[in-house]
Structure formats: C-alpha cells, structure tokens
C-alpha cells in the first residue's frame, strides 16, 4: 500500500507536464479583411465538391472545417469512404452527415500534404461518379436488350420448321 501511495505522489504517475506557451489563431475563410497569408492558406482547401469554412491553427496543429457542396450531399457517404480509406495516419477526420460537413486535424507541417490529398479525393470522387453514371447506362442497355430478346422469342412461338417434301 505504501508503494502505491508513493507512486501516486510522483509527477510521472500523475502525468504532470509543464505548460508550454503556444499561440492560438482562428481563420474564417468568409472574412474579407484577412491578411494575405491567411487568404492564400484558405484558398488551398477548395475543391470541386467541398469548400473550407474555417481553419484553426494552434501550436503545431491545424484543424480545417470543410463543407460538402449542396449538390453533392447525396454522395456524402462516398466522400467519407474515400477520405477514410486512403487517409494518412497523420490525418484525423470527423464527419457530420446531417450538416454535410467534415473536419480534419493534422500537424501544421502537413498543410500542403493535406491539400494534395483533398485534391486527389476530389478527382477520385469525379471518377467514381462518372463510373456510376456509365454503369447505370450499361445496365439500362442490358435490360432493354434482354427485354427485346425475350419479346422476339415469345413472338415466334407459332413458327416451326417442317421439312419440305
């Protein structure tokens, strides 16, 4: 029992660490009077299906909030799947399907890597949606072909070939 009490009294057991001063800044991409560095940074996180709504830099971390465009909210699960399936270990995503938003948290040094990753996802979403449209067209063609083929065979029930004498 005395060993337990001694262990609890040490700083290591209580996980006590010195507080290091850090800066906290919030950048909203909708503000018009932002410094040029902030505007350039917020323009990084724009894509065909999403747009950055805000970003928060604190210490060496970066949190970017993104919103899926209204026209692509129906594909939110596809977007979420692609983001999670291909994500780097350094990116942490949180999703809100109801609002059509997602947040990504990473280190500030990976800002450029995050932008490249989001642009790849944007391209892949376009490819997936194009494939889905093409597949629907092919399936519709197959159904139409089979229906016509079935009609040809059902209309020819009365015909029989007899040898001519």
User: Residue 5 has what pLDDT?
Assistant: 47
Tell me what pLDDT residue 29 has: 53
Q: pLDDT tens digit string along 53-82?
A: 888 888 888 898 888 888 888 888 888 898
Task: Encode pLDDT of 17-36 as tens digits.
Answer: 443 444 555 555 554 444 33
Q: List alpha helices for 55-159, DSSP H.
A: 76-85, 111-155
Strand, helix or coil at 56?
strand
Domain ranges for the chain? 22-148
Residues 160 and 73: their CA atoms lie apart, in Å, by 57
pLDDT of amino acid 53: 86
Bigger pLDDT: 112 or 42?
112
d(CA 46, CA 115): 9
CATH number of 22-148: 3.30.1360
């Amino acid at each position: 029992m005395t060993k337990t009490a001694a262990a609890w009294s040490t700083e290591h057991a209580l996980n006590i660490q010195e507080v290091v001063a850090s800066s906290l800044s919030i950048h909203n991409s909708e503000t018009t009077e932002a410094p040029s560095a902030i505007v350039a940074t917020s323009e990084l996180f724009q894509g065909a299906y999403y747009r950055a709504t805000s970003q928060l830099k604190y210490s060496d971390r970066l949190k970017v909030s993104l919103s899926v465009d209204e026209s692509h909210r129906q594909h939110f699960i596809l977007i979420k799947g692609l983001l999670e399936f291909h994500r780097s270990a350094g990116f942490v995503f949180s999703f809100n399907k109801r609002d059509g938003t997602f947040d990504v948290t990473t280190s500030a040094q990976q800002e450029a890597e995050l932008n490249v990753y989001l642009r790849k996802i944007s391209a892949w979403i376009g490819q997936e949606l194009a494939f889905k449209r093409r597949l629907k067209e092919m399936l519709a063609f197959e159904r139409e072909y089979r229906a016509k083929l079935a009609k040809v065979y059902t209309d020819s029930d009365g015909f029989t070939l007899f040898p001519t004498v």
